[in-house]
Amino acid sequence: MTKELMNKNDIDRALIRMAHEIIEKNKGTGKLCLVGIQRGGVHLAKRLASKIKLIEKKDIPVGSLDIAFYRDDLNIRKEQPIVRRTEIPFEVTDLKIILVDDVLFTGRSIRAAMDALIDMGRPASIQLAVLIDRGHRELPIKADYVGKNIPTALSESVEVNLVEEGAEDKVILEKAGKE
């Protein structure tokens, strides 16, 4: 059973609000950069960058980060995760990094992403922006900017579909399968 949680307009409005919040909290775009976690987070980071540009008329650098090398479950997974490119074409040291992901769940991906970023330099700060926070944290991690909070059961799953991946912009909740 599935339920639509956000449509195209909902996603767009949430991103516009998050862009405003990012600028407000950081008092402008100085020393700011966006890093998206592969894959969904990369598209959202690019969208946030273009929203910020509309508001502030400034380009901010965007990078992509793959966390496969830093996962904590490599010893227990059945198969190794696909490795995608990490492209961060700027020095992270002294920058304020906004880490972007589609869904915040256990927090383990974010822990891996922070370790990866810190291996690349010493950022001034790392803040977290997510489109969906579905709860069930297993680590002490909290998002600074949230598109939508959605209480979920552990048995449910949240799917973020984006046009960049050839789908329609949509967030879907899938309930555990009693067909």
Partner 1 sequence: MLTRKDLLGIKELSVEEINLILDTAAGFKDVLGRDIKKVPTLRGRTAVNLFFEPSTRTRTSFELAAKRLSTDVINFSVPTSSVVKGESLIDTALTVQALGADFIIIRHSSSGVPHLLAKKLKASVINAGDGTNEHPTQALLDAFTIREKKEKIEGLEIAIVGDIAHSRVAKSNIYCLKKLGAKIRLIGPPTLIPKELEMMDLDVFHNMEAGLKDVDVLMMLRIQMERQGRGFFPSTEEYSRNWGLTSERFSLAKDDVIVMHPGPMNRGVEITSEIADGPRSVILEQVTNGLAVRMAVMYLLSGMRK
Nearer to partner 1, 35 or 158 (CB): 35
For 150, residues 6+ apart whose C-beta sits below 8 A from its C-beta are: 5, 132, 133, 134, 135, 158, 173
77 belongs to the binding site for partner 1 (CB under 8 A): yes
Nearer to partner 1, 69 or 153 (CB): 69
Which of 54, 78, 151, 178 forms a contact with partner 1 (CB under 8 A)? Answer: 78
Q: How far is the CB of 36 from partner 1 (least distance, A)?
A: 15
121 belongs to the binding site for partner 1 (CB under 8 A): yes
| Tokens linked to 97 | 């990094």
70 belongs to the binding site for partner 1 (CB under 8 A): yes
Q: What is the DSSP string of 5-48?
A: EE-HHHHHHHHHHHHHHHHHHHTSSTTEEEEEETTHHHHHHHHH
Q: How far is the CB of 120 from partner 1 (least distance, A)?
A: 6
Which of 9, 24, 54, 79 forms a contact with partner 1 (CB under 8 A)? Answer: 79
Q: How far is the CB of 115 from partner 1 (least distance, A)?
A: 7
| CB neighbourhood size of 144 (10 A) | 16
Which of 47, 66, 132, 134 forms a contact with partner 1 (CB under 8 A)? Answer: 66
Q: Are 160 and 104 in contact (CB under 8 A)?
A: no
Closest CA to 99 of 82, 111, 89, 90: 111
130 by DSSP, 3-state: which?
Answer: strand
83 belongs to the binding site for partner 1 (CB under 8 A): yes
Query: Tell me, what amino acid is at 82?
Result: I
37-56 residues in contact with partner 1 (CB under 8 A) are none
Which residues are near partner 1 by CB under 8 A? 66, 68-70, 74-75, 77-80, 82-87, 115, 119-121
